[in-house]
Amino acid sequence: MEQVDPRRLIPRTDRLLALPAVERARARLSEAVLLSLVREVQQRARRGELAPDRVADAVSAAAQERSAASLRPVLNATGVVVHTNLGRAPLSEAAVAAVVAATGYVDIELDLTTGVRSRRGSGARSALLAACPAAEDALVVNNGAAALVLATTALAAGREVVISRGELVEIGAGFRLPDLIASTGARLREVGTTNRTHLRDYADALGPDTGCILKVHPSNFRVQGFTSGAPMDDLAALAAGHGVPLVADIGSGLLAPDAALPDEPDAATTLAAGAHLVTASGDKLLGGPQAGLLLGRADLVAQLSRHPLARAVRADKLTLAALEATVAGGAVPVGRSVHADPTRLRERAERIAAAVNAPVVPHDGRVGGGGAPGLPLPGWAVRLDEAIAVHLRTGSPAVLPRVHDGACLLDLRCIPEADDERLLAAVHVALAASSATATSPGGSTGGTNGMTTPTA
């Protein structure tokens, strides 16, 4: 009898698309996505990776699990609070609720009382001014770089931006401050040296072609030793005497001083020292969504608001909603992580470690995101074998540990305490997967729990 090719037993596409699980998935997935999903499973069966009688179940499971978006939630166990690769600041509950509310029609540019058009984002503006009274006005754009580009374009296009050589920083992903400013049509007038710039250097550079003085906080590195810089109040007096705007890019977005971050500049202090305009990011230490903040003198903010570029970099309704709720709401996750109690972190780590027979070791967290470079945040971490890391990253939920010195370190600083059980479950699964890999043919024959003895 002629043997039937098993590939002929693979269910037809139309039958798979009619499965109940696929029908239910149509409420959240497009027809093109569902068709692609079905064909992927059929191809697995054609390659012999899946028995034909398991195809329907595999399609049903895939349809149930598939999300319309590819981004996956991650438990951040690195100890880095503002982790750029993980989207920087996680939003507060108030901000999440505000975003959800703003997904429909909202009064973003409408006065409901009078029925006439109103100023865009007035709620976020009011919240920022209430949190930072030193600012006369505020403007929100779509990110920190855009805030700086708008300021230098509106104030100095075709003219000079006077800046210290020690502040010509690269802000990440290959983007450099000099290139950003040059793209606006402004010319850089570099003064001083990498490690020392004096007030007289700025004074000597000022002239009729000066558009503004720019003071940039080198937030992602430190220069130590034989260094000096012009204080903000001295620069402000110099700028005022020449009728030149003084713009200060503080980077991380603190609106007020934070005792835990003594060297990190904040908007209130910078404006009080005499800066005319402050630019900052919203998704770093402020703990909000990606946004660029411009705070300062009312006439300068108005000048920037009227510039044509302001329309190209304006913030959308979801950003404005999240930012207002971040500033006007309660504590944000970034703040809680920065100020986490080391004793409580150790207690939580020891509980996880005891459940998987692992040691707990001292571990310093970091602010990250270009904030407070070099500042340690004392804490603790569960120490596992490095081989566990890949299974944690690819598990469900995904967990990102810190891999360092041959170890996989789990720092709970940035993990909400309510997620400790999810983390522990993920660790158990990762340990089992690592053990199975280690004992499989061709794998290592190491210990079953993936633990190593901590180094001194």
Q: Are 309 and 149 in contact (CB under 8 A)?
A: yes
Burial class (CB in 10 A: 0-12, 13-18, 19+), 386: middle
At residue 454, the pLDDT reads: 32
Q: Are 315 and 121 in contact (CB under 8 A)?
A: yes
At residue 276, the pLDDT reads: 98
Q: Are 212 and 156 in contact (CB under 8 A)?
A: yes
The pair of structure tokens assigned to 263 is 């060297």
Burial class (CB in 10 A: 0-12, 13-18, 19+), 18: exposed
User: What is the domain partition of the chain in residue ranges?
Assistant: 6-65, 75-83+336-439, 92-330
C-alpha–C-alpha distance, residues 347 and 336, integer Å: 17
C-alpha–C-alpha distance, residues 171 and 189, integer Å: 19
- pLDDT values of the chain reduced to their tens digit, one per residue, 456 residues: 566 677 888 999 999 999 999 999 999 999 999 999 999 999 999 999 999 999 999 999 999 999 999 899 999 999 999 999 999 999 999 999 999 999 999 999 999 999 999 999 999 999 999 999 999 999 999 999 999 999 999 999 999 999 999 888 877 667 788 888 888 899 999 999 888 999 999 999 999 999 999 999 886 667 777 778 899 999 999 999 999 999 999 988 899 999 999 989 999 999 999 999 999 999 999 999 999 999 999 999 999 999 999 999 999 999 999 999 999 999 999 999 999 999 999 999 999 999 999 999 999 999 998 788 889 999 999 999 999 999 999 999 999 999 999 999 999 999 999 999 999 999 999 999 988 877 666 554 444 344 433 333
At residue 209, the pLDDT reads: 96
At residue 447, the pLDDT reads: 41
Mode of pairing for the β-strands spanning 246-251 and 210-216 = parallel
At residue 178, the pLDDT reads: 86
- State which amino acid sits at residue 364: D
- pTM surpassing 0.85? yes
- The size of the chain, in residues, is 456
Q: Are 246 and 215 in contact (CB under 8 A)?
A: yes
At residue 341, the pLDDT reads: 97
- State which amino acid sits at residue 426: A
Distance of CA 262 to the CA centre of its chain: 22
Domain 92-330: give its CATH code.
3.40.640.10
Single out the residue of 360, 351, 362 nearest to residue 383, CA to CA: 360
Query: Is the C-alpha dihedral spanning 206, 211, 215, 219 positive or negative?
Result: negative
Q: Are 292 and 143 in contact (CB under 8 A)?
A: yes
Single out the residue of 257, 313, 337, 305 nearest to residue 141, CA to CA: 313
Instruction: Judge if the upstream peptide bond of residue 397 is cis by omega within 30 degrees of 0.
Output: yes
Burial class (CB in 10 A: 0-12, 13-18, 19+), 315: buried
The long-range contacts involving 174-181, CB below 8 angstroms and separated by at least 24 positions, are 175/145, 177/148, 177/216, 180/145, 180/148, 180/149, 181/148, 181/149, 181/152, 181/214
Q: What is the dihedral of CA 129, 135, 141, 142, to 10 degrees?
A: -80
Q: Are 58 and 49 in contact (CB under 8 A)?
A: no
Q: Considering the domain delimited by 75-83+336-439, tell me its CATH architecture.
A: Alpha-Beta Complex (3.90)
According to DSSP, the residues that pair with 128 across neighbouring strands are none
Q: What is the DSSP letter of 314?
A: B
Q: Are 364 and 402 in contact (CB under 8 A)?
A: no
C-alpha–C-alpha distance, residues 179 and 170, integer Å: 9
